[in-house]
Amino acid sequence: MTKRVTSHPKPEDGPCERIIEACAGLRAVVSATERATEEIMQAAEVLMTAAEAANDAAGETVVIEATRVFEACTFQDITGQHVNKVIDTLTLIERRLRALGLTHVIGEAKELADPDQPPLEGPQLYPGDGLAQQEIDLMLADG
């Protein structure tokens, strides 16, 4: 029986490609967090506007809690800054590896413990990477 390897890292990938892929994943996290935070803040703003118009105790409570939501959403900016520092560091490492000519494979790709049960590796970052929607639908229909 042939052993199946994970799609990430690919055996032909070198350390530079893995770093580039890690940076793309981190950028996707920052982008998704920014979008979600913007939606949360827009919803809190709508609630706050409606609550201020109500001009009663319940409205005052909603304004206070909406303000707390705004304050809590500042995490996104802070985490985005930290993640961007990590991306910058990884990019520097990738450039230095390339400058040293170390773009070849270091080590082998991990073998799957069970070739019939590939690991779930999270959402796809690139078109064509990962399972197609039809494959996912078939898996769910079989469940």
Give residue limits of the domains in the chain. 1-112
How far does Cα 56 stand from its chain's mean position? 41
In the chain, the N- to C-terminal Cα span, in Å, equals 26
Does the pLDDT at position 127 exceed 80?
A: no
pLDDT in tens, 78-89: 999 999 999 999
Please give the pLDDT value at position 101: 81
Whole-model pTM above 0.95?
no
Please give the pLDDT value at position 5: 40
Tell me the mean pLDDT in the region 136-143.
73
Residues 16 and 98 sit within 8 Å (Cβ to Cβ): yes
pLDDT in tens, 15-74: 788 889 899 999 999 999 999 999 999 999 999 999 999 989 999 999 999 999 999 998
Mean pLDDT is lowest, of 59-73, 93-107, 109-123, for: 109-123
Position with higher pLDDT, 72 vs 140? 72
Residues 6+ apart with CB under 8 A from 104: 14
* Mean pLDDT for the chain overall: 79
Please give the pLDDT value at position 92: 93
Does the pLDDT at position 109 exceed 50?
A: no
Position with higher pLDDT, 16 vs 118? 16
Omega of the bond leading into 9 within 30 degrees of 0 (cis):
yes
Position with higher pLDDT, 97 vs 45? 45
Three-state SS string over 18-87 comes to HHHHHHHHHHHHHHHHHHHHHHHHHHHHHHHHHHHHHCCHHHHHHHHHHHHHHHHCHHHHHHHHHHHHHH
